[in-house]
Amino acid sequence: MFMGTVSRLMGAIVVIAIGLAMATGDVSAKDKRYNQDWRQQNQAPGHDATQELVKELNALINQASRSRAADPLFLRDLSDLARRFSWPWPRRVLFDNFSDGELSQNPAWVASGHALMVDRFIGVRSQVIPSRRHGSQNQAPRSDRLSKRDIAAQIFATILQQQAQARQPQQRQARSPYKQPAKMTSAVRLANAFALRTQIASDTKGEGRFELGVTQGPNGLGYRVIYNAGGTPSIELVRIGRRGSSVIDASRKAVKLEDNAHHTLQFTRSADGTMTVSVDDVEVIRTQDRAFRDGFDGILMMNKGGDFTIRAITAYSS
């Protein structure tokens, strides 16, 4: 009798595990260049059917563990599978794919810096010159060694360039990068447990820096995920507190977004303070921090150097 119960229990676990994998396994097969996930970001990634499978799988795992019906290592692997597809943030509190071509409403964003350009077809693009300019100090003295002929040629080339810019002022303004960081914030209520998902593309040449995070209060305290284009580590998770900022954890593997494709950057926080950062559904950071116990009241995106485009952003709360 006991063995029959165990057999049925293990059979049910395997069936649910296979169903869970099949329900979500086709995502990785999509070509990232043509990923249309941003169109469905108003729907939670953990849809009802998948979450029911996760719930049933967890219940059966607990039952099998209590009755010692399976190898503990096998049950641990199944628990990891269930955790991968668990989505404990059912409330969608913000969604924007910028298809209306503006930032003032539905939802409302507060933008600072002149580098932000909104396009209803591509999203929000910003081009910012990194604050650190390597080699600039070594370039200045070279002008002292130039001949008069070279200097005259440079002046003539500068005049021609200025005339070309004057004939196409709007095009020049749209493509020129700015030195001031481009920042977007939106006032939205989030519980202490939340999830952020963005569709981001990068055409950054050299070094760059993009930040995504949640804020608490007028001073911008909270957590930020930082992508360092061309830098090491590629991704950092930072806490902004009253005493300053500190790195909580960083990715061990290199992450590169500069491939002319949209990527899904996801940042989650659970009720126990566990935080994860993933890129295209591959987890790159998992850590825990309980410095903030209250909810958050804002979302932040900032370009501190580079060429970044945000196709869409969605925020979920517990």
Chain-wide mean pLDDT for the chain?
A: 80
pLDDT of residue 79: 75
Tell me, what CATH number does 287's domain have? 2.60.120.200
Both 165 and 276 in a single domain? no
- Final residue belonging to a domain, choices 85, 111, 137: 85
**Residues 133-156, mean pLDDT to the nearest whole number:** 49
Both 305 and 283 in a single domain? yes
Q: How many residues does the chain have?
A: 318
- Final residue belonging to a domain, choices 85, 101, 117: 85
At 78, the pLDDT band (50, 70, 90 cuts) reads confident
Check residues 141 and 36 and name the one with the higher pLDDT: 36
Structural domain includes residue 233: yes
Structural domain includes residue 98: yes
**Quick one: which of 237, 189, 195, 238 has its CA closest to 216?**
189
At 141, the pLDDT band (50, 70, 90 cuts) reads very low
Check residues 53 and 199 and name the one with the higher pLDDT: 199
Both 312 and 185 in a single domain? yes
- C-beta of residue 53 within 8 angstroms of C-beta of residue 19: yes
Both 156 and 124 in a single domain? no
Query: Tokens representing 272?
Result: 């126990």
Reported as a single tens digit per residue, the pLDDT across 79-89 is 777 777 777 89
Both 280 and 171 in a single domain? no
Both 201 and 294 in a single domain? yes
Sign of the CA dihedral 144, 150, 156, 159? Answer: negative
Phi, psi of 240 (to 5 degrees): -105, 105
Residue 23 pLDDT exceeds 90: no
Structural domain includes residue 66: yes
**Residues 56-75, mean pLDDT to the nearest whole number:** 79
Domain span at 165: 146-175
Check residues 260 and 164 and name the one with the higher pLDDT: 260
Both 169 and 294 in a single domain? no
Residue 279 pLDDT exceeds 90: yes
How many structural domains are present in the chain?
Answer: 3
Structural domain includes residue 304: yes
Residue 14 pLDDT exceeds 70: no
Residue 44 pLDDT exceeds 90: no
Check residues 229 and 260 and name the one with the higher pLDDT: 229
At 28, the pLDDT band (50, 70, 90 cuts) reads very low
Structural domain includes residue 135: no
pLDDT of residue 54: 73
Least confident stretch, 107-111, 152-156, 188-192:
152-156
Both 220 and 298 in a single domain? yes
Residue 130 pLDDT exceeds 50: yes
Structural domain includes residue 141: no
Structural domain includes residue 259: yes
The CB density around residue 280, as the number of other CB atoms within 10 Å, is 18
Check residues 83 and 313 and name the one with the higher pLDDT: 313
Both 75 and 166 in a single domain? no
- 172-178: Cβ within 8 A, 24+ apart: 174/117, 175/127, 176/127, 177/115, 177/127, 177/128, 177/129, 177/307, 178/113, 178/114, 178/115, 178/127, 178/128, 178/129
Check residues 276 and 5 and name the one with the higher pLDDT: 276
Check residues 105 and 63 and name the one with the higher pLDDT: 105
Cα separation, 216 vs 292, in Å, equals 9
Residue 53 pLDDT exceeds 90: no
pLDDT of residue 38: 43
Both 38 and 60 in a single domain? yes
Structural domain includes residue 33: yes
Both 198 and 253 in a single domain? yes
- Final residue belonging to a domain, choices 32, 54, 85: 85
- Give the percent of the chain with pLDDT over 90: 53
Reported as a single tens digit per residue, the pLDDT across 168-218 is 444 334 456 788 899 999 999 999 999 999 999 999 999 999 999 999 999
Both 192 and 308 in a single domain? yes
Residue 148 has what DSSP assignment?
Answer: H
At 75, the pLDDT band (50, 70, 90 cuts) reads confident
pLDDT of residue 10: 60
Residue 33 pLDDT exceeds 50: no
